[in-house]
């Protein structure tokens, strides 16, 4: 879970630096590497409308120490802003909203640099995007002028910059991320319980030899020795016995439960505890660890993907290609090399750890050799190869998104069909109507219900006959384009999480639209 | 060449004369929507301007957000309780605090900040433990929101609010909204005391971390955490380098770190760092601004809906939202069922498996670790007899001899016991004992086995 922040080899015993102290609770999530990525980033917010959701998002990025941010906003602060936006006060009335928000946001963290631009006749979105500043990521909030939207999209495509569109009104919101091309992630932070990979069905020679040391004369071990055999050694022993008796390894659920009973029966019960903890651990681990490793569909997707010429030069795709070769040859992925805690003598456990680490290093060396042999593989950092191998079973590729009108109708049909069954079994209904209704107010926030429905019907003929869509459109009309602070704060939290995931390239971002319903307190993620 | 455009061109921002501060709130407070329940919704101006008194526990990561959100949701009178002072490690998310506030009371600084920023809201800080306040204090609120980091404090307020309910007095009934986060994950829940599933009903969803056996720490450490726990529990007790361990004193943590490092070197264990030492000793849970924002806003959204009836709130059909942002975004919103055998809000005793051959002392110790009990300082009564009392001292002394006796000597299979724990309020936890094995009666004294 925890990344090492202080290098233990250095004789630094005076504790963490001021920065490590301030950011301690987040460094435990994304480590120094993630923090560095955040500090190098510059986020642009094009703000409009009631103007809160983007500012709330920035609050959640300024606090963890994003490098720089810029707010561009044409609005002058008025009374209604003070009822929804926390980063304005009485003194802000009549002044540029961009300027006032930047000032109050910047107070949150002296390490962060904020810039502002009051969009006016002389300062347009076009000027803003043509200046020398390079943005790491752009967020814009609805409503937005179509010509500005086009400029942002053009900038994103040209500079390969991720864009997030955010729309919050009344009790509803959605946001949609647009990643520039395909987005591979190595450091996905899978659940620690999912990552155990012990290769018990295919032990290598050194592991088998190690196991034999403890189990060749298992019945004559002292009580202490018997009670401290590491559980994975116990499992290897009984697997060998099983194979000798049955000819094959246990593979079906029935065989595995029978195997588990054999393992449990191996525990000595003639002791005060009436059993042995290590045998309990072994029995508990059977269903989880005794199974042939299968390639996750997300990893298969990476192996099957044909990177284009530009992508193929990136270290990710070079290493991926080497790992694929490794997999084809060895029929398994490189060994991650970690061993879960288990009852054992300290020295025995450390030896076991070293056996797994050694094998993992051998696998890394094999992949590294393949990397070096590939075009562009000479300069790739060994550490990157090592990290890739360790996470190989959990790598993930998020495909870039291209909007197409066909897609919308297909989703609408699929979601409507799902709703029919969902309604019967009491499952939650699709939130797609929220997306459609908000989307219809992208440029005209105060549209009336009939206008919203008419606009949706243009893209999806007949959609408005769905009574639920009509209700949702009516709820959108009720908000008159105004934000509720809670909904925007919540949405700003989700968007900030996504920005952090995209910038640090850690954890898994959404693909690609998240819709929130503040009435039923639910989200739904759809690829639109 | 460039076409000058105003981004606000089509955004019908109200002209300054028309603009009113709360117009966005009024859109939903003064107008009903298609999902609004017309039987309970009051669209009058009086209802909108007269929003209730609310109490917030905790002015930490969630608390700061909650205060901001409530102030901007139209709540006018808020009380906040927090006994903590501001630490530098709070600044990455607790956005009402600055470097210069380090060492000050969280409740006081937070209250002052929000009052200054949002005109017309009154926030009363209480720099104390929630347990320091009595029932009269809690009676004055209509809604309670918790942004706490301890299960114990949640259980205390939960049992207190259940206890407060008087069927003849509708005002005694205080909805409780609770939020919690860990890393990119969190949950929010709405509880109607005595009517819907309470925090105690849901206790097993927050199982305590399994403790490492002492013998592992003492003789066969394998993980860096084992070395740190050894330094924390054993080396410190033995050497007492400072009179009292202070988790926030870097000198103390450094001492533990060095001890753990030496222990790890002895056993060839790698991975002991200062950061890990601090994490293990303080049981640190990773926390970030964005997750706090999500969960706090979810709690306040429910509070707003409960107070205004502008839309249906969680609490009835569904009362619990789980959120996870690790892998994409996932929420699961469901109904956690009320338990008839909940020791706090149920009316049936909960079954509790127990080995009758344990001593009462062993049984009491086991209650701390069991996920369904998690009672650290329990006093126990059975059928009108007191088996063990932690306090007052006279009663403790009187009942202490029972600690050596076996459970089976004191109670029978199927007997009901009542357990109280001062940290959890006045509630009596009712358990029905189910013996898991045959009781072997001890030989009488003088006839050693």
CB–CB of A493 and B293 under 8 A? yes
Joined together, the tokens standing for residue A285 give 């681990």
Q: Do both B235 and B129 map to the same domain?
A: no
For residue A85, pLDDT beyond 60: yes
pLDDT at A310: 85
Catalytic residues of B, which ones?
215
CB–CB of B10 and A121 under 8 A? no
Measure B10 CA to nearest chain A CA, in Å. Answer: 6
pLDDT at B179: 96
Q: Do both B120 and B236 map to the same domain?
A: no
State phi, psi for B349 to the nearest 5 degrees.
-70, 145
Task: Dump the DSSP string for B25-49.
Answer: HHHHHSS--TTS-TTT---SHHHHH
Q: Do both B177 and B239 map to the same domain?
A: no
Categorize the per-residue pLDDT at A405 as very low, low, confident or very high, splitting at 50, 70 and 90: low
pLDDT at B375: 82
- What is the rounded CA–CA span in Å between residue A79 and residue B360? 66
Residue B11 lies in a domain: no
Percent pLDDT > 90 in chain A is: 78
Q: Which of B275, B302, B326 sits opposite A5 (nearest CB)?
A: B275
For B262, nearest residue in chain A (alpha carbons): A8
- Other beta carbons less than 10 A from residue A418's beta carbon: 14
CB–CB of A228 and B314 under 8 A? no
| Mean pLDDT value of segment A262-276 | 92
Helices (H) and strands (E) in chain A, counts: 22, 10
pLDDT at A403: 58
Q: Do both B355 and B299 map to the same domain?
A: no
Residue B442 lies in a domain: no
CB–CB of B92 and A122 under 8 A? no
pLDDT at A5: 46
The 8-class DSSP code of residue B230 comes to I
Q: Do both B101 and B236 map to the same domain?
A: no
Q: Do both B177 and B294 map to the same domain?
A: yes
Burial of A477 (0-12, 13-18, 19+ CB in 10 A): buried
Domain boundaries, chain A: 18-181+484-526, 198-289, 297-399, 405-479
Measure A225 CA to nearest chain B CA, in Å. Answer: 13
What's the average pLDDT block by block, 10 residues per block, for chain B (449 residues)?
35 51 93 93 78 80 96 94 93 93 96 95 94 90 91 91 89 94 96 94 81 90 96 94 90 94 96 94 94 98 95 93 97 94 82 88 85 82 85 86 90 88 75 87 50
- What is the rounded CA–CA span in Å between residue A30 and residue A473? 40
Which of B257, B281, B305 marks a domain boundary? Answer: B281
Residue B25 lies in a domain: no
pLDDT at A80: 94
CB–CB of A124 and B5 under 8 A? yes
Percent pLDDT > 70 in chain A is: 96
pLDDT at B374: 81
* Most A CBs within 10 Å, among B297, B314, B449, to test the A interface: B297
pLDDT at B19: 62
Q: Do both B191 and B122 map to the same domain?
A: yes
Q: Do both B105 and B144 map to the same domain?
A: yes
The pLDDT tens digits for A487-504 are 999 999 999 999 999 999
What range defines the domain where residue B232 resides?
Answer: 214-281
User: A with B: how many residue pairs have Cβ under 8 Å apart?
Assistant: 330
- What is the rounded CA–CA span in Å between residue A241 and residue A211? 13
- CB–CB of B429/B420 below 8 Å? yes
Q: Do both B91 and B223 map to the same domain?
A: no
CB–CB of A475 and B22 under 8 A? no
Joined together, the tokens standing for residue A66 give 């994003």
Which chain B residues have a beta carbon less than 8 Å from that of A494? Answer: 290, 294, 325, 329
The pLDDT tens digits for A312-341 are 899 999 999 999 999 999 999 999 999 999
For A395, nearest residue in chain B (alpha carbons): B327
CB–CB of B292 and A493 under 8 A? yes
pLDDT at A329: 96
- Which CATH number fits the domain that encloses residue B297? 3.40.50.720
Categorize the per-residue pLDDT at A118 as very low, low, confident or very high, splitting at 50, 70 and 90: confident
> What is the complex's ipTM, to 2 decimals?
0.94
Alpha-carbon distances, residue B379 vs B150, B181, B242, B427 (angstroms) = 21, 32, 33, 12
Q: Do both B40 and B163 map to the same domain?
A: yes
Measure A375 CA to nearest chain B CA, in Å. Answer: 33
Which chain B residues have a beta carbon less than 8 Å from that of A492? Answer: 290, 293
- Which CATH number fits the domain that encloses residue B379? 3.10.290.20
Q: Do both B293 and B275 map to the same domain?
A: no
For residue A177, pLDDT beyond 90: yes
Q: Which CATH number fits domain A18-181+484-526: 1.10.1510.10, 3.40.50.720, 1.10.10.10, 2.40.50.100?
A: 3.40.50.720
The residue among A452, A142, A196, A147 whose CA lies nearest residue A340 is A196
Bigger pLDDT: A303 vs B394: A303
A31-45, A126-140, A208-222: segment of lowest average pLDDT? A126-140
pLDDT at A13: 56
For B309, nearest residue in chain A (alpha carbons): A519
pLDDT at B3: 35
Total count of domains within chain B: 3
pLDDT at B425: 72
Measure B309 CA to nearest chain A CA, in Å. Answer: 11
Q: Do both B92 and B164 map to the same domain?
A: yes
Categorize the per-residue pLDDT at A124 as very low, low, confident or very high, splitting at 50, 70 and 90: confident
Q: Which of B16, B35, B73 sits opposite A486 (nearest CB)?
A: B73
- Output the 3-class SS for A477-501: HHHCCCECHHHHHHHHHHHHHHHHH
CA within 13 Å, CB half, B123: 34
| Mean pLDDT value of segment A23-33 | 95
- CB–CB of B260/B272 below 8 Å? yes
Which of B237, B262, B281 marks a domain boundary? Answer: B281
């Amino acid at each position: 879970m925890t990344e090492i922040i202080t290098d233990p080899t250095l004789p630094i015993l005076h504790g963490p630096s001021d920065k490590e102290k301030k950011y301690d609770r987040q460094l435990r999530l994304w480590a120094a590497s993630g923090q560095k990525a955040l500090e190098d980033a510059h986020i642009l917010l094009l703000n409009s409308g009631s103007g809160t959701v983007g500012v709330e998002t920035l609050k959640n990025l300024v606090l963890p120490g994003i490098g720089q941010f810029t707010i561009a906003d044409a609005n002058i602060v008025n009374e209604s802003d003070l009822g929804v936006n926390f980063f304005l006060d009485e003194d802000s009335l009549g002044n540029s909203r961009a300027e006032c928000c930047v000032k109050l946001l910047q107070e949150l963290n002296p390490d962060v640099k904020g810039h502002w631009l009051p969009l006016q006749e002389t300062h347009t979105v076009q000027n803003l995007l043509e200046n020398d500043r390079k943005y790491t990521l752009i967020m814009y909030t609805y409503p937005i002028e179509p010509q500005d939207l086009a400029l942002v999209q053009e900038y994103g495509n040209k500079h390969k910059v991720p864009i997030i569109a955010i729309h919050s009104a009344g009790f509803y919101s959605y946001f949609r991320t647009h990643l520039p091309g395909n987005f591979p992630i190595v450091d996905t932070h899978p659940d620690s319980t999912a990552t155990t990979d012990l290769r018990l069905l295919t032990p290598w020679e050194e592991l088998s030899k190690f196991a034999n040391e403890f189990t060749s004369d298992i019945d004559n071990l002292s009580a202490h020795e018997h009670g401290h055999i590491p559980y994975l050694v116990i499992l290897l022993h009984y697997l060998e016995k099983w194979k000798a008796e049955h000819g094959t390894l246990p593979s079906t659920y029935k065989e595995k439960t029978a195997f588990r009973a054999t393992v449990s029966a191996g525990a000595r019960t003639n002791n005060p505890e009436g059993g042995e903890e290590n045998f309990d651990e072994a029995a508990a681990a059977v269903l989880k660890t005794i199974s042939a490793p299968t390639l996750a569909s997300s990893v298969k997707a990476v192996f099957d993907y044909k990177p284009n010429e530009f992508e193929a030069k990136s270290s990710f795709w070079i290493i991926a290609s080497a790992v694929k070769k490794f997999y084809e040859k060895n029929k398994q992925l490189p060994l991650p090399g970690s061993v879960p805690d288990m009852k054992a003598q300290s020295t025995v456990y450390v030896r076991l750890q070293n056996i797994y680490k050694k094998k993992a290093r051998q696998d890394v060396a094999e992949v590294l050799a393949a990397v070096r042999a590939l075009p562009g593989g000479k300069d790739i950092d060994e550490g990157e190869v090592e990290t890739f191998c360790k996470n190989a079973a959990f790598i993930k590729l998020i495909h870039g998104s291209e909007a197409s009108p066909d897609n919308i109708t297909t989703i609408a049909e699929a979601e409507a069909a799902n709703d029919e069954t969902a309604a019967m079994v009491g499952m939650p209904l699709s939130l797609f109507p929220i997306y459609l209704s908000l989307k219809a107010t992208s440029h005209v926030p105060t549209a009336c219900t009939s206008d919203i429905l008419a606009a949706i019907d243009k893209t999806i003929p007949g959609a408005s006959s769905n009574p639920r869509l009509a209700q949702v459109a009516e709820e959108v009309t009720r908000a008159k384009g105004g934000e509720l602070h809670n909904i925007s704060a919540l949405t700003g939290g989700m968007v900030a999480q996504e920005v952090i995931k995209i910038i640090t390239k850690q954890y898994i971002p959404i693909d690609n639209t998240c819709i929130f319903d503040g009435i039923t307190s639910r989200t739904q993620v759809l690829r639109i | 060449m460039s076409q000058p455009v105003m981004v606000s061109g089509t955004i019908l921002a109200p002209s300054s004369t028309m603009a009113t501060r709360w117009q966005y709130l009024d859109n939903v407070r003064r107008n009903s929507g298609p999902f609004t329940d017309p039987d309970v919704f009051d669209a009058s101006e009086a209802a909108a301007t007269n929003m209730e008194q609310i109490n917030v526990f905790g002015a930490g990561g969630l608390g700061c957000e909650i205060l901001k959100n409530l102030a901007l949701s139209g709540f006018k009178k808020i009380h906040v309780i927090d006994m903590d002072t501001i630490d530098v490690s709070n600044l990455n998310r607790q956005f009402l605090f600055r470097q210069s506030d380090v060492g000050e009371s969280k409740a006081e600084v937070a209250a002052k900040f929000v009052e200054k920023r949002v005109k017309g809201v009154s926030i009363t800080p209480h720099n104390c433990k929630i347990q320091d306040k009595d029932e009269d204090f809690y009676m004055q609120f209509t809604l309670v929101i918790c942004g706490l980091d301890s299960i114990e404090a949640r259980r205390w307020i939960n049992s207190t609010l259940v206890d407060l309910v008087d069927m003849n007095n509708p005002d005694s009934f205080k909805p409780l909204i609770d939020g919690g986060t860990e890393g990119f994950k969190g949950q929010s829940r709405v509880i109607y005391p005595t009517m819907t599933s309470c925090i105690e009903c849901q206790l097993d969803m927050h199982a305590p971390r399994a403790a490492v056996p002492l013998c592992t720490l003492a003789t066969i450490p394998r993980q860096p955490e084992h070395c740190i726990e050894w330094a924390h529990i054993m080396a410190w007790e033995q050497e007492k380098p400072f009179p009292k361990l202070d988790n926030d004193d870097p000198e103390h943590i450094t001492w533990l770190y060095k001890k753990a490092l030496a222990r790890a070197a002895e056993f060839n264990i790698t991975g002991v760092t200062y950061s890990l030492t601090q994490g293990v000793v303080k049981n640190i849970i990773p926390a970030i601004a964005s997750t706090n924002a999500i969960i706090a806003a979810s709690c306040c959204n429910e509070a707003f809906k409960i107070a205004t009836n502008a839309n249906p709130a969680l609490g009835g059909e569904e009362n619990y939202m789980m959120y996870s942002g690790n892998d994409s975004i996932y929420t699961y919103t469901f109904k956690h069922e009320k338990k008839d055998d909940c020791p706090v809000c149920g009316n049936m005793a909960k079954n509790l498996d127990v080995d009758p051959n344990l001593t009462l002392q062993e049984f009491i110790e086991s209650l701390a670790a069991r996920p369904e009990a998690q009672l650290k300082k329990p006093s126990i009564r059975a059928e009108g007899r007191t088996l063990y009392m932690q306090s007052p001292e006279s009663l403790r002394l009187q009942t202490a001899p029972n600690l050596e006796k076996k459970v089976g000597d004191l109670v029978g299979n199927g007997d009901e016991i009542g357990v109280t724990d001062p940290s959890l309020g006045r509630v009596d936890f009712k358990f029905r004992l189910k013996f898991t094995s045959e009781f072997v009666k001890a030989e009488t004294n003088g006839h050693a086995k």
